[in-house]
Amino acid sequence: MNKEISKVFQVAAVFIGTIVGAGLASGKEITQFFTSYGFKSFFGIALTGCFYIFLCSIISKLSIDNNLNSYADVIALVTKGNENNPFLSVLSKGTTLITTFYILSSASIILAGCGSLINEYFGIPKIVGTALMLILAVIILWRGTDGLIGINTIIVPSLIITIVTLMGLYVFFYKDAITLQKLQSITPIKKGWFISSILYSGYNILSCSGVLVPLSREMKSKRAVIAGILLGSLGLSVLCVFINLMLMLNQPNIYSYDIPLLYIADRFGTPIQLLLLAVIWLEMFSTEVSDVYSISRSLQNVFKLPFKGCIFIVLAIAFPISQLGFTNLISILYPIFGMLSLLFITQCLYYYFFKRKKG
């Protein structure tokens, strides 16, 4: 029983660590996808949490039932059923290719971002910071799934402690400013919170499937994995609510910062700022490890290569790309990936409810 509970917490930690990333930990993603929609953003966060639980549980069940190894296997599974239809074959391969390219781009950008973060705050050359993350990623990934679980069981509690501490300080010093009436009176900057929540869910569900699929297969326990997804989704939703609450009460100033939470942490002194910066770096590292892990598992499965060899292949491609910059590419890739993620979710639902063999 203790082993089962341990698996639940491991899955929850990997789930949170994979989805969070530097964008969420810094407050930038929450600002873009939720805060700017006003009070209804809280409904969006709740809806996103429900999507995570429902859809990730389906992906996990399909992975265990069909002994799948990677996100490429899931995409192939949910688009099968009419082998004579060339459109489905092209769709499956196209979705896999763009997903791989997107995750690889994410890994490259994180390597570049790590170099920039260390350079900006410590004056160390960017390439040194990038190389440091690359070396550490190899060390962690060398242990395979155990390394992925191990690093997230350290990073995720650090994230939770930091966000809860920041929220606690905010409530202690500014409790009079936190009222339901004030939150409801904030004018939304954007409209369409529902669509924004669905798109955000889609990005993350397709992205984290690269980690969730092999993790589910290795855990071999539907109950533990689904309980872990449930716990991870609830924990993630609470963190998002805390971050969103602080961001909402600090509009419009937060829109001027690349790291909105750093603006909030600034009033509580340098130690809190440094703690937040450390967590952002750790979340960047966690996402880097998850991205490289998911692509390496996919390459291992498709080309029958050793997993450790695939790690070096992925990083060897990501490192030079990280030195070029990818802003324009991501601005093109994000909308395409968003549409593909919604298509992928629709296919998963259709396959799960109408085409799979009921056991």
Give me the residue label for tokens 């190894």: 69
CA distance 355 to 338: 25
DSSP 8-state code for residue 354: I
**Which region, left, alpha or beta, applies to residue 116 given φ > 0 means left and ψ of -120 to 50 means alpha?**
alpha
Percent of the chain past pLDDT 90, that is, above it, reads 38
Residue 240 and residue 30 in contact, taking contact as beta carbons nearer than 8 Å? yes
In our burial notation (b when 16+ CB lie closer than 10 A, e otherwise), range 327-337 reads eebeeebeeeb
CA distance 167 to 64: 38
pLDDT range class, residue 258, cuts 50, 70, 90 = confident
Q: How high is the pLDDT of residue 152?
A: 92
The secondary structure of 126-154 as a DSSP string is: HHHHHHHHHHHHHHHHTTTHHHHHHHHHH
Q: How high is the pLDDT of residue 342?
A: 87
Q: How high is the pLDDT of residue 293?
A: 93
Most confident of 41-55, 166-180, 317-331: 41-55
pLDDT at 109 over 90: no
Listed range (196-205, 285-294, 325-334) with the worst mean pLDDT: 325-334
In which element (H, E) is residue 124 found?
A: none
pLDDT range class, residue 252, cuts 50, 70, 90 = confident
CA distance 283 to 357: 39
Residues in the chain: 359
Domains of the chain: 2-355 (1.10.4160.10)
Residue type, 161: I
| Mean predicted confidence (pLDDT) in 251-276 | 87
Burial class (CB in 10 A: 0-12, 13-18, 19+), 269: exposed
Residue 255 and residue 31 in contact, taking contact as beta carbons nearer than 8 Å? yes
Q: How high is the pLDDT of residue 12?
A: 94
Burial class (CB in 10 A: 0-12, 13-18, 19+), 90: exposed
The encoded tokens of residue 76 equal 């192939």
The encoded tokens of residue 83 equal 């082998």
Chain centroid to Cα 345, Å, comes to 16
Q: How high is the pLDDT of residue 105?
A: 81
Q: How high is the pLDDT of residue 325?
A: 53
Q: Which of 115, 89, 86, 99 is nearest to 22 (CA)?
A: 115
The encoded tokens of residue 275 equal 């703690």
What global pTM score does this model have? 0.91
Give per-residue pLDDT as tens, 21-67.
767 777 888 998 999 999 999 999 999 999 999 999 999 999 999 99
Give per-residue pLDDT as tens, 200-250.
898 889 888 989 999 998 887 899 999 999 999 999 999 999 999 999 999
pLDDT at 323 over 90: no
CA distance 127 to 118: 10
More confident: 227 or 355 = 227
Name the average pLDDT for the chain. Answer: 86
Count of other CB atoms within 10 angstroms of residue 160: 18
| Mean predicted confidence (pLDDT) in 255-271 | 86
CA distance 298 to 71: 7
CA distance 112 to 126: 8
The encoded tokens of residue 187 equal 């004018």
More confident: 13 or 120 = 13
DSSP 8-state code for residue 352: I
DSSP 8-state code for residue 211: H
Q: How high is the pLDDT of residue 333?
A: 64
More confident: 162 or 110 = 162
CA distance 69 to 214: 5
Q: How high is the pLDDT of residue 81?
A: 53
With DSSP H G I counted as helix, E B as strand and the rest as coil, what are the percentages for the chain, rounded to 5?
A: 85, 0, 15
Q: How high is the pLDDT of residue 83?
A: 55
φ/ψ of 251, rounded to 5, equals -80, 150
Residue 288 and residue 135 in contact, taking contact as beta carbons nearer than 8 Å? no
Q: How high is the pLDDT of residue 332?
A: 61
Give per-residue pLDDT as tens, 70-95.
888 898 888 875 556 677 777 788 88
